[in-house]
Amino acid sequence: MARLLLLTLACLSVAAPAFAMHISEGLLPFNWALFWYLAAAPFVALGVKRLNVLAREDLSLKPLVGLLAAVVFIISCLPIPVPTAGTCSHPCGTGLAAVLVGPLISVLIAAVALLIQALFLAHGGLSTLGANVFSMGVVGSLAGWLAFRGVRALGGSLAVAGFIAGVLADWGTYAATSLILAAGIRGEAPLLPLTARIMVAFIPTQLPLGILEGVITAGMVTLLYRKRPDLLVKMRVIRERELPDHA
């Protein structure tokens, strides 16, 4: 935990050029920026409510959420610019967060990470914060959580479920980002063809990044299963009866 906090402080203190992280400040018209704020706000509010309810039942939850917020912040601070799209590619981390603490709290984690990045790193922006929270927080978290639960329900292993959750959370984020950008900048252009063109612009960077995020998510879930199976039981990622005899 201490090392993650130190690394976070280091990211905040090192000067670096801005790479138009997430959807850039001022890129969306006011009406679309407001729309995405309104779309994301209920999920953030539900995340706060969910966190408060679970924290009353388990005092160890808030430190875990803080740790995951640091992880999401650091992972999503690794930009690869996509000049033709007005944004950049990067891992997200919301798939892992959603698997461990559920999609609603993962939305809250993403909102906090994105707000800090907008305020201190010029990554994204305050006007586009709602859109970025919706794509990375809402869509990314729900895609990862649903994928993980679906694969597990079909009998898939933790590693396979974690991999697919990480991949789909990442790719789902960028599908949503493409749609949000297209809707905001299209003018009189048809929405779906423009969305497809933006998605194609992301492919060279986001395709391998999504696979990498799947590997990271699978690795983290598997590591926790080996080292802290009690934590996964508590978060309902696995059940007691799924543990090996030696766990």
Q: What does the pLDDT read at residue 244? A: 65
List, for residues 179-190, the tens digit of each pLDDT value: 999 998 887 888
Q: How far apart are the first and last CA of the chain?
A: 24
**75 vs 160: which has the higher pLDDT:** 160
Percent of the chain topping pLDDT 90: 50
Q: How far apart are CA 216 and CA 97, in angstroms?
A: 12
pTM: predicted TM-score of the whole model, two decimal places:
0.84
Mean pLDDT of the chain: 84
Please check whether residue 137 is in contact with residue 110, taking contact to mean a CB–CB distance below 8 angstroms: yes
**243 vs 62: which has the higher pLDDT:** 62
pLDDT at 4 over 70: no
Retrieve residue 17's tokens.
């050029």
**Alpha helices, DSSP H, located in 128-157:** 129-132, 140-153
Q: What does the pLDDT read at residue 11? A: 41
Confidence of residue 148 (pLDDT cuts 50, 70, 90): very high
List, for residues 186-233, the tens digit of each pLDDT value: 878 888 999 999 888 888 888 888 999 999 999 999 999 998 888 888
Please check whether residue 234 is in contact with residue 55, taking contact to mean a CB–CB distance below 8 angstroms: no
Please check whether residue 71 is in contact with residue 93, taking contact to mean a CB–CB distance below 8 angstroms: yes
**Interval 53-58 mean pLDDT:** 87
List, for residues 150-181, the tens digit of each pLDDT value: 999 999 999 999 999 999 999 999 899 999 99
